[in-house]
Amino acid sequence: MSSNKKYWKSVEELNENSSIVEALRNNEFVEAIPTDEFLSDKDSLSSSSTTRRDFLKYVGFSTAAATLAACEGPVHKSIPYVLQPEQIIPGVADYYATSMFDGFDFANLLVKTREGRPIKIENNTISGAKFAANARVHASVLSLYDSMRLKRTKLAQKEANWQEADLKIKASLADAKVKGGQVVLLTNTLASPSTEKLIAEFIAKNPTAKHVIYDAVSESAALDAFETVYGERALVDYDFSKANTIVSIGADFLGDWQGGGFDSGYAQGRIPQVGKMSKHFQFEANMTLSGAAADKRVPMTVANQKLALVKIYSIVTGSSVAIGKLANEEVVVKAAQQLKASGSKGLLVSGIQDKNAQLLVLAINQALGSEAFSTVGTRQIRKGSNEKVAQLVADMNVGSVHTLIMSGVNPVYTLADSAKFLSGLKKVKLSVAFSLKEDETASITNIAVPAPHYLESWNDLVLTKGTYALTQPTIRPLFSSKQFQEGLLSWNGNSVSYYDYIKANAASFTNGATWNKTVHDGIAVGVASATTSGAADFSAAANALASSKPANGFELVLYTKTGLGDGQQANNPWLQEFPDPITRVSWDNYVTISKADAERLQLDNKIVANGGLNGSNATLTVNGVKMAVPVIVQPGQAVGTLGLALGYGKKASLKEEMQVGVNAYSFYSNFNDVQSATIAKADGEHEFACVQSQKTLMGRGDIIKETTLTVFSAKYNEPEVWNSVAKVSLDHKEVEATKVDLWESFDRSVGHHFNLSIDLNACTGCGACVIACHAENNVPVVGKSEIRRSRDMHWLRIDRYYSSEDTFAGDNKKKEEFSGLFGKEGSLGGFGDMEKPADNPQVVFQPVMCQHCNHAPCETVCPVAATSHGRQGQNQMAYNRCVGTRYCANNCPYKVRRFNWFLYNNNDEFDFHMNDDLGRMVINPDVNVRSRGVMEKCSMCIQRTQYTILTAKREGREVNVDEFETACSSACSTGAMVFGDINNKADKITKLVEDKRAYHLLESVGTKPNVVYQVKVRNI
């Protein structure tokens, strides 16, 4: 520095009693800063040789005094234990093995707790624990701390206690027994042998009682078909890893079809080997995760899907069933022929909600002898019956139901004919609801009982036959809740606790394992017997399906979104802000429509001046029910079809910010997910919060690299053909960009050096990693308005790319054939055309987080050295140094840095989980909650890597092979994300980094990232 004099740092310092100055003196940067002379005098300033960077340092420090009051972090006062529990060591996490099932989602889990607070969901990877957590399960830990939960028992909408309610229920049951009145237990699918035994005992004690199982999103058609053929009401647990040819007709098996959880097996067959990779055909109406992953996707109405299924049945089984004109017949025949040729390595699945269609699925897989189709270990996670639910509503309306006790259901919200249910409910003498929330149903019943969250309760589960899982509490109940099973014990006159009841029954399912071992492991694996093989009149089913008539007008296809599912967690801000993998829209529900239909009806989407996405409003009419819905023009949507997600439009017990979208269950007539509909343009436009508008790859081959299995196999030892490296000029010679450095490199071979590999073939876009990152790193929720301003705070995003041609190869060919700037073949107009997705585009998902560049451009421009590089390869952030210049974000080619525009913690403007004491219980104490005005981004979970190192050191050992994990890699059920230490040659990451498919994003920039991607290979 040319100046060495000492001057004042800011005008605030002239006030001797300033609390702000006193605070600054106690902070890190309190040294005297020689700025006064050159800042206060024009001539001195012009002659100063102070560098621009030093100038920014001083301005940043001085400005900090003026803004400190707005940016200071929250103060938390700690209360020490009076008597510290033996099992809790402050600062050390405890993990509990458990399993969850809420009637829709299910998983085998490890729950991380800190000081008695569950804060993070992890996957249980012990042998036999086969179901990993999806995005909703990861978010369920936040739902535990939902301030809108039902907290106390209510009688006639007035607060009471369980004892009062219990007496009224017992009196009603006694009255029903005397009068012969019907008692109905209406529950979701339970999958709990102990609960089912309790219900059987209850029915034995109350002869007029019956149990009705109601799944809000029905799989009754598949259940009915399986029961007809095999005599058991269950679902097949398909093993996609054993299939070489997969044909899906309307089944989003990578989404929520039949419960989901098939992605891990599917991904195993999608990792390309030389000459070997599964082939996936998808016939569907809506663009789904499964369609996005398919090698060949065909948009098709549901009416045509039924005909396609009959055609495939005829070819595979050799039957002859006459069908009408079939769209895309050539592709259907090709799929059927490949399926038949694959024999036992073939698999067909279908999501058509028609018993005849599901019978043909069973017939086709039987004919193939499919190894992926097995009746051993059937799924027990869907048991609902459409007929029995309809009968219950009818019985209620004729006054034959005396007492109705509900658990885990919300029929007032989820039934299409909820008006009939409501009218019937008024004729029931006593209605009881066990519910987490005072929802649409619980708010109008005679008795509403707060149910515990699964993290607060004991239960047992048989998710698949032959496995036995335990749900154990990880925290004491937060409210005065009462479990449905405890109610059953009371009504049965049984004084034991539900824990003791489960323990007494467990020996029948644990296959010799002790109770303590089962609790420790969370699961016990027994021997599953095969369901007796059976048959049905498949030919009659095929003929009936062949005579199906198309819908009048549009086909409205109802589905569940990756974020909200059936809507049980609609008050969860993590899920509301989670962008839909396909549309990339958050905080909204909408109807999807094809481009051709949208143009005909003058419906459109457009990007407005602030970068937000606006869409036309429309009026949707189904069975006389009208609804105002915004429109998303969706590439890949079958012409003549519309898509609308269930799970939105809830109002009861939801914060105002979460009351978004429309209730599509109103259209779910007769549990049919396909309805005839009309749609017409309405006035006005709707503002969407879309984090990635419908842009394309535009031929940028160094972002997404892909090839075909044919090229990959033929040229495997010539990766430069299909995984070329960008070239640059060095000393007038063409060299690979990865071999050119602007800086001298450090020796990275000493100690740990972390890399993350992401396989584009295995990534399904499910988003579990996004929610896991939120939970692990205290990522704030900002709300729809901020998302619309492109101010989302996700540390990890999953970019979705469409092709403008039918394939990405077509994109590249189009780009390479541009000639000149103007005209039809000119690059100016040509690149504009490439912004428009094809009517049936190929899709790629690409998770992008901080790339942790070894030559990071963000580090060189930070004026205060807030961002720096660690010896272990991580790009680090010192939040208390950051002054928010945002230079690092401007200099980042990957756009992964997020600026904290506001204080999101304890701020009424952001009334989400960080705004109340209960919601803040989910905060991870190992990660700082950032205050306003700093840059934040992926840290590659540095708190986890350091904890792993310290654990190994404390135990006197080396870090185990593949012991290092990040939140995203541990959440990834497909194995797409693999994290590890490349200096440990036994770690899996080492081979992946050196794999021929490995490449880095924007290699030509020379940033040398520590995140590596694997080239996508398509089997076409």
Q: What single string gives the DSSP state of each residue in 406-424? A: EES--HHHH-TTHHHHHHH
CA gap 715, 996 in Å, rounded:
11
Cα 972 from chain centroid? 11
With helix as H, strand as E and coil as C, how does 242-280 read? HCCEEEEECCCCCCCHHHCCCHHHHHHHHCCECCECCEE
**Is pLDDT at 3 greater than 80 in this prediction?**
no
What are 929's two structure tokens? 């909650």
CA gap 157, 438 in Å, rounded:
10
Written as one string, the DSSP assignment of 104-137 is S-EEEEEEEEETTEEEEEEE--STT------HHH
Summarize pLDDT for 678-692 with one digit per residue, the tens: 999 999 999 999 887
Q: Percentage of the chain surpassing pLDDT 90?
A: 68
Torsion of CA 55, 57, 58, 60, to 10 degrees: 120
| Structure-model confidence comparison of residues 19 and 459, the more confident one | 459
Written as one string, the DSSP assignment of 128-173 is T------HHHHHHHHHHT-TTB--S-EETTEE--HHHHHHHHHHHH
pLDDT at 728: 84
CA gap 583, 689 in Å, rounded:
10
CA gap 156, 445 in Å, rounded:
7
Torsion of CA 11, 13, 17, 19, to 10 degrees: 100
pLDDT at 738: 83
CA gap 125, 960 in Å, rounded:
16
Letter string b/e over residues 713-732, b meaning 16 or more CB atoms within 10 A of that residue's CB:
beebeebeebbebbeeeeee
Which residues lie across from 688 on neighbouring strands? Answer: 613
Helices (H) and strands (E) in the chain, counts: 33, 39
CA gap 38, 186 in Å, rounded:
78
Give the phi and the psi of residue 167 in degrees, each rounded to 5. Answer: -65, -40
Q: What's the distance, Cα to Cα, between the start and end of the chain in Å? A: 64
**Is pLDDT at 615 greater than 60 in this prediction?**
yes
What are 484's two structure tokens? 């449905």
Using the 8-state DSSP alphabet, how is residue 324 labeled? -
Summarize pLDDT for 923-970 with one digit per residue, the tens: 999 999 998 889 999 999 999 999 999 999 999 999 999 999 999 999
pLDDT at 48: 56
**Is pLDDT at 55 greater than 70 in this prediction?**
no
Torsion of CA 740, 745, 747, 749, to 10 degrees: -40
Task: Give the mean pLDDT of 685-713.
Answer: 79
Nearest to 853 by CA among 641, 1006, 633: 1006
Q: What's the predicted TM-score (pTM) here?
A: 0.90
Sign of dihedral through CA atoms 881, 885, 888, 892? positive
Which residues lie across from 593 on neighbouring strands? Answer: 633, 642
pLDDT at 10: 42
CA gap 911, 66 in Å, rounded:
27
**Is pLDDT at 441 greater than 70 in this prediction?**
yes
Label residue 690 left, alpha or beta by phi (over 0 means left) and psi (-120 to 50 means alpha). Answer: beta
**Is pLDDT at 28 greater than 50 in this prediction?**
no
- Asked if 978 and 756 touch (Cβ cutoff 8 Å), the reply is yes
pLDDT at 54: 55
Nearest to 254 by CA among 683, 729, 843, 660: 843
Work out the angle at residue 719's Cα, subtended by the Cα atoms of residues 717 and 722, and round it to the nearest 5 degrees. Answer: 130
User: One-letter amino acid identity for 38?
Assistant: F
- Asked if 237 and 377 touch (Cβ cutoff 8 Å), the reply is yes
Q: Which of 10-14, 244-248, 613-617, 829-833 has the highest mean pLDDT?
A: 244-248
Using the 8-state DSSP alphabet, how is residue 356 labeled? H
What are 371's two structure tokens? 């190894």
Nearest to 592 by CA among 560, 636, 624: 636
pLDDT at 116: 87
Summarize pLDDT for 346-375 with one digit per residue, the tens: 999 999 999 999 999 999 999 999 999 988
CA gap 752, 552 in Å, rounded:
64
pLDDT at 21: 45
User: One-letter amino acid identity for 923?
Assistant: I
Quote the crossing angle between the two packed helices 302-317 and 329-342, to the nearest 10°.
40
**Is pLDDT at 826 greater than 90 in this prediction?**
no
Task: Give the mean pLDDT of 690-718.
Answer: 79
CB atoms near residue 942 (< 10 Å): 20
Letter string b/e over residues 841-856, b meaning 16 or more CB atoms within 10 A of that residue's CB:
bbbbbbbbbbbbbbbb
Using the 8-state DSSP alphabet, how is residue 496 labeled? S
Task: Give the mean pLDDT of 604-625.
Answer: 88
**Is pLDDT at 80 greater than 70 in this prediction?**
no
Reported as a pLDDT band with limits 50, 70 and 90, residue 19 is low
What are 505's two structure tokens? 């029954």
pLDDT at 64: 42
Helices (H), 766-826: 768-777, 784-788, 808-816
CA gap 387, 384 in Å, rounded:
9
Summarize pLDDT for 124-149 with one digit per residue, the tens: 999 889 999 999 999 999 999 999 99
What are 428's two structure tokens? 């029931």
Which residues lie across from 212 on neighbouring strands? Answer: 186
- Residue with structure tokens 């017997």? 529
What are 753's two structure tokens? 């050096």
With helix as H, strand as E and coil as C, how does 371-393 read? CCCCCECCECCCCCCHHHHHHHH
| Structure-model confidence comparison of residues 42 and 147, the more confident one | 147
The CA radius of gyration of the chain, in Å to the nearest whole number, is: 30
With helix as H, strand as E and coil as C, how does 452-468 read? CCHHHCCEEECCECCEE
User: One-letter amino acid identity for 772?
Assistant: A
Reported as a pLDDT band with limits 50, 70 and 90, residue 737 is confident
Summarize pLDDT for 280-304 with one digit per residue, the tens: 999 999 999 999 999 999 999 999 9
Letter string b/e over residues 678-710, b meaning 16 or more CB atoms within 10 A of that residue's CB:
ebeebeebbbbbbbebbbbbbbebbbbbbbbbe
CA gap 47, 784 in Å, rounded:
49
